[in-house]
Amino acid sequence: MSSLLVQLTQSYGPSGNEEVIRDLIINEIKQFVDELNVDPLGNIIARKKGPGKKLMFAAHMDEIGVIITYIDKKGYLRFSNIGGVSQYSALFQKVRFKNGVIGCIGYEEDIESMKDLKLDKMYIDIGAKDREDAEKIVSIGDAACFEGPFNQQANRISSKALDDRIGCYILIEVIKQLKNSPNDLYFVFTVQEELGLRGARTSAFSVHPDYAVAVDVTATGDTPGAKKMAVKLGKGPAIKVKDNSIIAHPYVRNIMIETAREAGIPYQLEVLEYGGTDSGAIHLTKGGIPSGVLSIATRYLHSPVEMADMDDINNGIKLLRALAVKEMGAEGIS
């Protein structure tokens, strides 16, 4: 079990509230990079200098969560979602505020049919006696993340926020392992991805790389009743072909495949029929940036029990490290 991966997944960091997870990442990487800064939106931009092409690797720090909109006279908290919160995954779960207060999500009426569940009929119970009691420890606008402990059985791990602390973990490990590169490397830990790829857009504009690769999670087709999809746990990192936000640039996609084959790293090809990653914003920045995605297969996305395979994660580290030292040509610009 990686203690760093445990720390990353268990840290607090809903979209727009990334301070805690950002400080953790900075402390992990600051001695291994040549330059490090936090931009006005809150993205971490870390550079390992090299003479060649400018490459940007991006993983988002933020996680889904909830935000308090109203406190009623009995001390119950009404809330709205931050990012793609499912009413089915949220019901009767625990949430944690930045100050450590824990709440439980309840429902205001008897549940006759799961298909009728609505977030606006849910509330958070923090054990307060009334509104005055609740307002001593939480306020309107406070955000909370879901609680989901880290567990590992054999190679399989489960936790909240594997989306996308897995990507952050991969970037951190590559930063630590990589001594030098023929490329000029920018490792960007982005904010507010779950709200529309916001940090990726601004950081890509600042860095303006020659090529970019987002590192994120993706869905799987290997559970009962899952939508048919050729991505499974334990079969290697996935190289994205397409999702709803991008058709991966052919040059970037092909050089990732070539790199995996040369290094003997197992890989899968991914076509995701919904969703997107930071690459969706990056590739449309300025005059266009050739972009791809390295994905880690993850079950039960946007729930407190997301599940992934450590072999896929470790092979993802190997692939990104090999890609970082690959000499990139100008083919992608044509």
Residues with catalytic function: 193
Q: How many Cα atoms are found within 13 Å in the side-chain-facing hemisphere of 174?
A: 32
| 293 and 79 Cβ atoms separated by less than 8 Å | no
Sheet holding 151-153, edge to edge: 151-153, 156-159, 306-309
Give the pair of three-digit tokens for residue 64.
Answer: 């889904």
Q: Which residues pair with 184 in a beta bridge?
A: 54
Give the pair of three-digit tokens for residue 30.
Answer: 């600051």
- Residue 265: closest CA among 323, 324, 221: 323
| 207 and 56 Cβ atoms separated by less than 8 Å | yes
155 Cβ contact list (under 8 Å, min separation 6): 234, 309, 310, 311
Provide the 3-class DSSP secondary structure of residue 310.
helix
Other CB atoms closer than 10 Å to residue 301's CB: what's the count? 18
Give the pair of three-digit tokens for residue 301.
Answer: 């996305």
